[in-house]
Structure 1
Amino acid sequence: MLNRLQKFAVAATLAATAVTIAATAATGTTGVAEPHKSVSTAPEFTGISTWLNSDPLTIQKLRGKVVLVDFWTYTCINCINTLPYVKSWNQKYKDQGLVVVGVHTPEYPFERDTDNVKTAIKRFGITYPVAQDNQYATWRAYDNQYWPAFYLIDKKGQVVYTHFGEGDYAQTEAAIQTLLAQKS
């Protein structure tokens, strides 16, 4: 039998869930976008077993560029749904200083196979660098918990914006444009 405090906690959780569902239905988005609450230095790419479409990259060497780190995996439908936007941003802004880095972090054991990742990259037409994070080292360095997840890093190497899940593409693109317009 639930005591009063437990009943209140259950009711509050259900109410919060209902508000979230209503907001999702109203906006048509399934993700959460927000300025990064505490600006922090972006963690380095660590524990990367393989780099695809690129030589190994470091956050340090990317200073002076705007970097979009996209945590994804090739069988995640939400990740697949974000790819047209990520690919478009890469094409539109790469000559203006944007570097997109896909961090492929597998959800299932078969997604650890580099040949499977290469096949997916080719199938999806991904041309930007992809870091294969099979041991979740970079995932943990970013304290990430979601697929897909965007971390936008300014020219000084600070994480200044995050987005988890699908949606809010115009907001994410506006953040990219704002960062590209800033002086180093």
Structure 2
Amino acid sequence: MLSQLKTLAVAATFAVTAATGTAALAAPLKNGPPAPEFTGITKWLNSDPITLQQLRGKVVLVDFWTYTCINCINTLPYVKSWNQKYKDQGLTVVGVHTPEYPFERDTDNVKTALKRFGITYPVAQDNQYATWSAYNNQYWPAFYLIDKKGKVVYTHFGEGDYAQTEAAIQALLAQKD
């Protein structure tokens, strides 16, 4: 019985933490390496070409995704929401579309997916996996949060931990330049 109560207490604490994002604020953001530049991009969609140097002073969420990956599709409502909620506060979302299958390399297919999903933020088409490789990425979806100084300070792979990711975005936006 005591074991069940402990399990219930831990689960309740986890649920409150997940709902409020307070645990993410308690865990400091790491002082990571400089973010690799976008490289080998075949095509930019929804924007002119962007460099991380141009984005210095902003918080950047780099989202590696591909349009047929169900896990990527499941994260899109959160990414789009963060873009809408925080873009005027200094967040820039950049989707890096890295294809898993040959048909996902076709720019028209990616454009169709952007319309279907209502994605309006910049998307870099990384058909040769150059930016993917520069980040040593291995996952779809993958989030890399870059601070105002251009350092990768937070990563998340796969679905979930949305409150923690949003808390990290908020903490980075609150930091002084």
Q: Cα distance, 1:48 vs. partner?
A: 0.2
Equivalent residue, structure 1, for 2:142: 149
Equivalent residue, structure 2, for 1:108: 101
Tell me if structure 2 keeps the 8 A contact 1:35–1:160: no
CA offsets, 1:100-131, max 9 Å, x none?
A: 00000000000000000000000000000000
Whole-Å Cα distance in 1 between the matches of residues 137 and 69 of structure 2? Answer: 16
Aligned-residue identity in percent:
86
Equivalent residue, structure 2, for 1:119: 112
Q: 1:136–1:36: structure 2 CA closer, same or farther, 3 Å change rule?
A: farther
Question: 3-state DSSP class of the match of 2:32?
Answer: strand
Q: Which runs of 5+ in 2 are unaligned?
A: 1-13, 19-23
Answering whether residue 25 of structure 2 is matched by residue 63 of structure 1, we say no
| Match 1:84 to one of 70, 74, 77 | 77
TM-score for both structures, normalised by structure 1:
0.81
Q: CA RMSD in A?
A: 2.0
Whole-Å Cα distance in 2 between the matches of residues 172 and 150 of structure 1? Answer: 9
TM-score for both structures, normalised by structure 2:
0.84
CA offsets, 1:76-123, max 9 Å, x none?
A: 000000000000000000000000000000000000000000000000
Whole-Å Cα distance in 1 between the matches of residues 30 and 100 of structure 2? Answer: 27
Q: Cα distance, 1:37 vs. partner?
A: 5.7
Structure 1 stretches of at least 4 aligned residues deviating more than 4 Å after TM superposition: 33-38
Answering whether residue 145 of structure 2 is matched by residue 159 of structure 1, we say no
Equivalent residue, structure 1, for 2:10: none
Q: Cα distance, 1:68 vs. partner?
A: 0.0
Q: 1:162–1:36: structure 2 CA closer, same or farther, 3 Å change rule?
A: farther
Tell me if structure 1 keeps the 8 A contact 2:31–2:151: no
Q: Cα distance, 1:35 vs. partner?
A: 7.1
Whole-Å Cα distance in 2 between the matches of residues 43 and 133 of structure 1? Answer: 14
Q: Cα distance, 1:143 vs. partner?
A: 0.3
Equivalent residue, structure 2, for 1:138: 131
